[in-house]
Amino acid sequence: MILHTLLDYETLRVIWWVLLGVLLIGFAVMDGFDLGTAMLLPFVAETDLERRVVINSVGPVWEGNQVWLILGGGAVFAAWPPLYAVSFSGFYLAMFAILFALILRPVGFKYRSKREDPRWRASWDWALFVGGLVPALVTGVAVGNVLQGANFHFGPDLRIFYDGTTLFELLNPFGLLCGLLSVAMLVMHGANWLLLKTDGVVSERARTFGGLAAVAVIALFALGGLWLWLGVDGYRFVSAVVADGPSNPLAKTVERASGVWFENYGTMSWTLIAPALGFLGALASLGFSQGRKAVPALLSSALSIFGVISTVGVSMFPFILPSWTDPKSSLTVWDASSSHLTLFIMLVATVIFLPLILAYTTWVYRVLWGKVDERAIARGDGHAY
């Protein structure tokens, strides 16, 4: 196979760095409103019927949305094997917490309304709340820790060792701040979804929570940026950058220094559009949701999520997962990817399937367009949850 040399290794690595972002953003935008809706469930809906309306607003789509996470896992495995290996095992208990919550969530959706017992239903409502909150919070905390650098190093045969990270060390103040930002972002997004899919009192409550969450996003994002500037060291190459060498993370030297996470914005000022969208999206979400314009509000919160996640990526580029106990073990775009051939094959697969996925997903959302039919749920039609 020589076809893969059509695209050089360096270009493919950058493409896959962008696709990594696309997958994370795809997950946060698509599954994000499910998670946000689940977090809002106990607060925007009081009666059983209201709760069923909220659950049914995401009922037909959460399964497809969750695939963004599954695909994210698979694609990181395929395109960035060391990243998959280090992050999933290094954040072992955090990953377990996410999995535990995500096991509860589908079951909660599906099983909650299968029995009439109010205690049964109330238990599953809390399971759904946990299933929304924990992934949102822990993912945010993990990103906060990635920005600070994780505790790992590679042995000579590239075996990974962890230098004593416990779950509680992950819950440091900056990590928690990022976790809260993640929660606020998805609550904002979920509230806009409920604005679109429900009416009446549920919709009104969602509007209030969505507004508060948008304000929180703006405040936490600004605070996070300030903290990053003042209190979090970034990482940079000391040795020359070899962008098309074999993926051996030990072949470089790296140093930590303050302010480094802001250098890319100086050298490439157009990238400032990322943090700008983070703020403006949240601001627009606030405005549109209070004006009861659901579709623009949902698009705005999606844009805000895009901006916030892109900001993290751009700030760290070319680093993906730095190590603070052994900076030269840090994973970067240039030494943590799959082989040239695998990146190419995966790109071909993505180019074929991603447009198809977007096409049929769009079609499904069009079929399901419109508010949740409260009366249909009340009379127990079909397979509604």
Partner 1 sequence: MELDVVALSRLQFALTALYHFLFVPLTLGLSILLAIMETVYVMTGRAIWRQMTKFWGTLFGINFVLGVSTGLVMEFQFGMNWSYYSHYVGDIFGAPLAIEGLMAFFLEATFVGLFFFGWDKLSKIGHLAATWAVALGSNFSALWILIANGWMQNPVGAAFNPQTMRMEVNDFFAVLFNPVAQAKFVHTVSAGYVTASIFVLGVSAWYLLKGRHLELAKRSMTVAASFGLAASLSVVVLGDESGYLSTEHQKMKLASIEAMWKTEPAPAAFTAFGFPDQKARETHYAVHIPWVMGLIGTRSLTTEIPGIEDLVKSAEARIRNGVEAYDALQTIRASAAPGAIPAEAQAAFEAGGHDLGYALLLKRYVDDPRQATDEQIARAASDTIPHVPTLFWTFRIMVGLGIFFIVLTATFFYLSARHRLDRYPLLLKLAVAAIPLPWIAAECGWIVAEVGRQPWIIEGVLPTAAAVSDLGAFTVLLTILGFTAIYTVLFIVEMGLMLHAIKKGPAPDPEPQAELAPHALAPAE
Residue selected from 64, 225, 287, 296 as contacting partner 1 according to rule CB under 8 A: 64
Q: Which two tokens stand for residue 110?
A: 């599906």
Touching partner 1, residues 152-211 (CB under 8 A): 156-162
In angstroms, give the least distance from the CB of 97 to partner 1: 9
Q: Does 367 bind partner 1 (CB under 8 A)?
A: yes
Question: Given the rule CB under 8 A, which of 230-238, 292-300, 315-323, 357-365 is the region that contacts partner 1?
Answer: 357-365
Residue whose CB is less far from partner 1, 257 or 364: 364
Residue whose CB is less far from partner 1, 55 or 232: 55
Residue whose CB is less far from partner 1, 262 or 360: 360
Q: Does 118 bind partner 1 (CB under 8 A)?
A: no
Q: Which two tokens stand for residue 231?
A: 């209190």
Residue selected from 42, 74, 225, 287 as contacting partner 1 according to rule CB under 8 A: 74
Question: Given the rule CB under 8 A, which of 97-105, 187-195, 220-228, 301-309 is the region that contacts partner 1?
Answer: 97-105
Q: Which two tokens stand for residue 24?
A: 């994370």
Q: With contacts defined by CB under 8 A, how many residues of the chain interact with partner 1?
A: 75
Q: At what angle do helices 294-316 and 9-26 cross, to 10 degrees?
A: 140
Residue whose CB is less far from partner 1, 66 or 198: 66
Say if residues 136 and 39 touch (Cβ distance below 8 Å): yes
Residue whose CB is less far from partner 1, 110 or 256: 110
**CA–CA separation, 232 and 147 (whole Å):** 8
Q: Does 301 bind partner 1 (CB under 8 A)?
A: no
Residue selected from 73, 225, 287, 296 as contacting partner 1 according to rule CB under 8 A: 73
In angstroms, give the least distance from the CB of 171 to partner 1: 17
In angstroms, give the least distance from the CB of 93 to partner 1: 7
Residue position matching structure tokens 């190590």? 323
Residue whose CB is less far from partner 1, 204 or 381: 381
Say if residues 372 and 385 touch (Cβ distance below 8 Å): no
Buried b (16+ CB within 10 A) or exposed e, 264-285: bbeeeeebeebbebbbbbbbbb
**CA–CA separation, 263 and 147 (whole Å):** 14
DSSP characters over 215-263: HHHHHHHHHHHHHHHHH-EEEEESSPP-TTS-S-GGG--EEEEETGGGH
Q: Which two tokens stand for residue 64?
A: 């497809």
Q: Does 374 bind partner 1 (CB under 8 A)?
A: no
Residue whose CB is less far from partner 1, 171 or 357: 357
Length of the chain: 385
Q: Does 102 bind partner 1 (CB under 8 A)?
A: yes
Q: Which of 176, 173, 179, 209 is nearest to 289 (CA)?
A: 209
Q: Does 21 bind partner 1 (CB under 8 A)?
A: no
3-state secondary structure of 331: strand
Question: Given the rule CB under 8 A, which of 6-14, 210-218, 287-295, 363-371 is the region that contacts partner 1?
Answer: 363-371
Q: Give me the amino acid identity at 296.
A: P
List all residues 6 or more positions away from 303 whose beta carbon is below 8 Å from its beta carbon. Answer: 277, 280, 281, 284
Residue selected from 47, 239, 248, 258 as contacting partner 1 according to rule CB under 8 A: 248
Q: Does 103 bind partner 1 (CB under 8 A)?
A: yes
Q: Does 384 bind partner 1 (CB under 8 A)?
A: yes
Residue selected from 100, 174, 227, 324 as contacting partner 1 according to rule CB under 8 A: 100
Q: Does 151 bind partner 1 (CB under 8 A)?
A: no
Q: Does 216 bind partner 1 (CB under 8 A)?
A: no
3-state secondary structure of 150: strand
In angstroms, give the least distance from the CB of 69 to partner 1: 7
**CA–CA separation, 121 and 111 (whole Å):** 9
Q: Does 122 bind partner 1 (CB under 8 A)?
A: no
Count of other CB atoms within 10 angstroms of residue 67? 16
Q: Note the helical H segments in 91-200.
A: 92-111, 118-148, 167-170, 173-197
239 vs 21, 82, 155, CA distance in Å? 26, 21, 20
Q: Does 368 bind partner 1 (CB under 8 A)?
A: yes
Question: Given the rule CB under 8 A, which of 150-158, 176-184, 252-260, 266-274 is the region that contacts partner 1?
Answer: 150-158
Residue selected from 49, 71, 171, 299 as contacting partner 1 according to rule CB under 8 A: 71
